[in-house]
């Protein structure tokens, strides 16, 4: 994109541009104090009797260090799902604007669009699950405010090719949201280093996947400081609670554990990939840049039911267009994968027996 052409004010909703944000007690106070009588809190200390920092300064400082992104380019949310919702509320006028997604992809974009009464337009990924740049651009019009690119994509597990993403960043005049929920499994492919270059780039990351903190709900948005400031104005003031901020800070100090777990998960993914590729009931195992595998099988619901009877639950994605007979399996621990493989082996044996019977009945 020609940076000088980018006009954020033209993309934002009018009410958001003109909004006077809620100013909380802790927002207005600056300087040093030891007696806090400004927020009607209970004065008796129990660890959580005070309101949390609305701008999560300490946590952002640490995340900024880890991600090599200035902390004033960060917006934190109650999961990425909240950041997605904030983007809709900042940019999309209900019943007027639209957003484009590349399908099949993460279901939350469409849900957030529906909640916000924003039209969702779909541009199908090609047979390699890559976005077709011209098709995506043709799907947009002057009311298209957001384009979602999920890379690595859920549920197809692949990264999008950089040339395609760059072309879209250059040619689409709205906001390009690159959802990097799984980027920890393909770290060097992150677009964080291009934040300076593209004023229309918003990146989403999360502590829910590789960092192992799905339960605390912490999502990370990264963008220009200008965009971040507008998102800060519309977010609920205390959207990230103190327990989450505390727990996240603790976990983010333990980078070694995080690195080690990624290494183990990738090793298990390779092993599972190899195992599945040899199974007779499997049509195709798609290559993965994430912590899950997408697999095309001969009978998805049969496999799903069989595994469930053994107490193993996977995700049946076969109802989704272009994912006929596909299931998605998260990579678990070594022990969980041992149990999974055992169950898959017995399913495969039954499958082979049935196949043989079918063949012998023909002759
Ligand atoms: C899991 C996932 C997220 C994470 O959402 P949180 O609300 O942060 O837990 C975001 N995007 C995609 C594509 C995901 O698969």
Cα dist. 330→148, 152, 226, 296, 318 in Å?
23, 14, 37, 15, 16
Higher-pLDDT residue of 361, 75: 75
* 48 Cα: distance to centroid of ligand 1 (angstroms): 27
* 80 Cα: distance to centroid of ligand 1 (angstroms): 6
Q: What distance in Å separates the CA atoms of residue 238 and residue 26, rounded to the nearest whole number?
A: 10
Both tokens of residue 315?
Answer: 């995700």
- What mean pLDDT do residues 69-93 have? 98
Whole-number pLDDT of residue 166: 98
Q: Which of 47, 57, 30, 27 is closest to 39 using CA atoms? A: 27
Output the average pLDDT for the chain.
95
Residue among 78, 79, 80 whose CB has most ligand 1 atoms within 8 A, to mutate: 80
Q: What distance in Å separates the CA atoms of residue 204 and residue 191, rounded to the nearest whole number?
A: 10
201-230 pLDDT, tens digit each: 999 999 999 999 999 999 999 999 999 999
- What mean pLDDT do residues 12-31 have? 85
Whole-number pLDDT of residue 358: 73
* 214 Cα: distance to centroid of ligand 1 (angstroms): 9
* DSSP H/E element including 203: strand 201-206
Cα dist. 145→91, 94, 151, 363 in Å?
6, 12, 19, 61
Kindly report the protein residue whose alpha carbon is nearest to atom 3 of ligand 1: 181
Chain Cα centroid distance, residue 307: 27
In this predicted structure, the answer to whether residue 356 has a pLDDT above a threshold of 90 is no
Kindly report the protein residue whose alpha carbon is nearest to atom 5 of ligand 1: 80
Q: What distance in Å separates the CA atoms of residue 313 and residue 244, rounded to the nearest whole number?
A: 28
Q: What distance in Å separates the CA atoms of residue 257 and residue 253, rounded to the nearest whole number?
A: 9
Both tokens of residue 211?
Answer: 């960092």
Q: What distance in Å separates the CA atoms of residue 241 and residue 56, rounded to the nearest whole number?
A: 9
Decide: 137 and 171 in contact? Cβ < 8 Å. Answer: yes
Ligand 1 residue neighbourhood (C-beta within 6 Å) = 79-81, 106, 150, 154, 179, 181, 206, 208-209, 214, 219
pTM summary value: 0.95
Q: What distance in Å separates the CA atoms of residue 144 and residue 332, rounded to the nearest whole number?
A: 39
* 79 Cα: distance to centroid of ligand 1 (angstroms): 7
In this predicted structure, the answer to whether residue 360 has a pLDDT above a threshold of 70 is no
**Residues linked to residue 177 through DSSP beta bridges, in sequence order:** 148, 202
The minimum-distance atom of ligand 1 relative to the CA of 207 is 8
Decide: 214 and 188 in contact? Cβ < 8 Å. Answer: no
Residue among 106, 129, 183 whose CB has most ligand 1 atoms within 8 A, to mutate: 106
Q: What distance in Å separates the CA atoms of residue 210 and residue 258, rounded to the nearest whole number?
A: 7
Q: What distance in Å separates the CA atoms of residue 218 and residue 76, rounded to the nearest whole number?
A: 7
SS3 content of the chain, % helix, strand, coil (to 5): 45, 15, 40
Q: What distance in Å separates the CA atoms of residue 75 and residue 18, rounded to the nearest whole number?
A: 20
- What mean pLDDT do residues 331-356 have? 95
* 204 Cα: distance to centroid of ligand 1 (angstroms): 9
Kindly report the protein residue whose alpha carbon is nearest to atom 7 of ligand 1: 79
Residue among 156, 206, 244 whose CB has most ligand 1 atoms within 8 A, to mutate: 206
Q: What distance in Å separates the CA atoms of residue 298 and residue 283, rounded to the nearest whole number?
A: 6
Torsion angles phi and psi, residue 334, rounded to 5:
-55, -45
Domains for the chain: give ranges and CATH numbers. Answer: 3-253 (3.40.640.10), 256-362 (3.90.1150.10)
Q: What distance in Å separates the CA atoms of residue 184 and residue 152, rounded to the nearest whole number?
A: 10
Whole-number pLDDT of residue 74: 98
* DSSP string for 251-320: HHH-HHHHHHHHHHHHHHHHHHHHHHHT-TTEEEE---SSSEEEEEES-HHHHHHHHHHTT---EE-TTS
Whole-number pLDDT of residue 3: 62
Whole-number pLDDT of residue 363: 56
* 2 Cα: distance to centroid of ligand 1 (angstroms): 30
101-139 pLDDT, tens digit each: 999 999 999 999 999 999 999 999 999 999 999 999 999
pLDDT classification of 61: cutoffs 50, 70, 90: very high
Whole-number pLDDT of residue 357: 79
* 271 Cα: distance to centroid of ligand 1 (angstroms): 25
Both tokens of residue 245?
Answer: 């901020």
Question: The tokens 């909640």 sit on which residue?
Answer: 115
Phi-psi region of 79 (alpha: psi -120 to 50; beta: other; left: phi over 0): left
Q: What distance in Å separates the CA atoms of residue 70 and residue 228, rounded to the nearest whole number?
A: 12
């Amino acid at each position: 994109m020609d940076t000088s052409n980018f006009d954020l004010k033209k993309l934002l909703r009018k009410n958001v541009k003109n909004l006077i944000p809620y100013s909380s007690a802790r927002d207005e106070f600056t300087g040093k104090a030891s007696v806090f009588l400004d927020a009607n809190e209970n004065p008796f200390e129990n660890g959580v009797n005070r309101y949390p920092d609305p701008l999560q300064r300490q946590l952002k400082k640490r995340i900024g260090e880890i991600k090599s992104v200035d902390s004033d380019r960060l917006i934190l949310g109650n999961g990425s799902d909240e950041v997605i919702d904030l983007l809709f509320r900042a940019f999309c006028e209900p019943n007027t604007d639209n957003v484009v997604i590349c399908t099949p992809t993460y279901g939350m974009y469409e849900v957030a669009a529906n909640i916000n009464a924003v039209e969702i337009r779909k541009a199908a990924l090609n047979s390699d699950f890559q976005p077709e740049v011209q098709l995506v651009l043709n799907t947009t019009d002057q009311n298209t405010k957001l384009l979602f690119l999920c890379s690595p994509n859920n549920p197809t597990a692949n990264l999008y090719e950089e040339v395609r993403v760059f072309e879209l960043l250059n040619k689409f005049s709205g906001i390009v949201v690159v959802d990097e929920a799984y980027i920890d499994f393909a770290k060097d492919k992150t677009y964080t280093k291009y934040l300076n270059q593209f004023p229309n780039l918003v990146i989403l990351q999360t502590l829910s996947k590789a960092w192992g903190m799905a339960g605390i709900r912490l999502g990370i948005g990264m963008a220009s400081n200008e965009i971040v400031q507008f998102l800060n104005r519309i977010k609920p003031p205390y959207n990230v609670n103190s327990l989450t901020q505390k727990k996240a800070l603790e976990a983010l100090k333990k980078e070694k554990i995080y690195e080690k777990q990624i290494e183990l998960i990738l090793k298990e993914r390779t092993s599972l990939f190899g195992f599945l590729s040899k199974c007779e009931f499997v049509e195709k195992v798609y290559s993965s840049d994430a912590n899950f595998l997408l697999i095309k099988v001969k009978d998805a619901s049969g496999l799903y039911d069989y595994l469930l009877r053994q107490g193993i639950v996977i995700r049946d994605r076969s109802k989704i267009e272009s994912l006929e007979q596909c299931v998605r399996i998260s990579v678990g621990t070594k022990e969980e994968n041992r149990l999974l493989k055992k169950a898959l082996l017995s399913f495969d044996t039954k499958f082979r027996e049935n196949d043989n019977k079918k063949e012998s009945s023909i002759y």
